[in-house]
Every structure is written in C-alpha cells, then in structure tokens.
Structure 1
C-alpha cells in the first residue's frame, strides 16, 4: 500500500488526521528534496561542455 493509503488507515485508527497528514507531507517533501539534489549532482557529473562541440 502506498504512503497516503497507509496514512488513511492510521487516521482511521487514531483520529489524528492533521498530525498524520503533516508527517506524511513532510516525508514526501524530504524524499523529493533528496531526489532533486541527487539528480542535480548526476546532471553535473554527466554534463558536457558546449566548448567540446558535442
């Protein structure tokens, strides 16, 4: 089950929707930040300069 679905299951048991969705949102934010930074690094490593003519 994906993260939002698991959050809904936890909310059904605990009745704390704001806290659970906040935690899930923060997890998505951190996960996205890490992926973006990783792809930026990969882009720098695989960059081809315009002066090389490729």
Structure 2
C-alpha cells in the first residue's frame, strides 16, 4: 500500500523540496582557521585539524 501511495504521489502530484537543513559548525579558539573542512557526509576528518 505504501508503494502504491508513493507511486500515485509521484505520478499525479510530485513535490518541490522547500527546506534543506544547513550544517552548523563551531570550533574552539585553539583550532587554526581553515583546518576544519566538513565533508558532504556531515563529518570531519580529525587527523587534518590543526591546533595552535
């Protein structure tokens, strides 16, 4: 039934996403600017972060 409902929705109505959640990041003052680069998967490779 869920498959059928989704099929009807896709064929007859469709939708336009109106919201995309922004990622919020915060770092301590000891972290060197530019060393934290979040990836599309919403994580950070910790071995690349540089500290003062």
- Same fold, TM-score > 0.5, yes or no: no
Larger radius of gyration: 2
Bigger proportion of residues as helix: 1
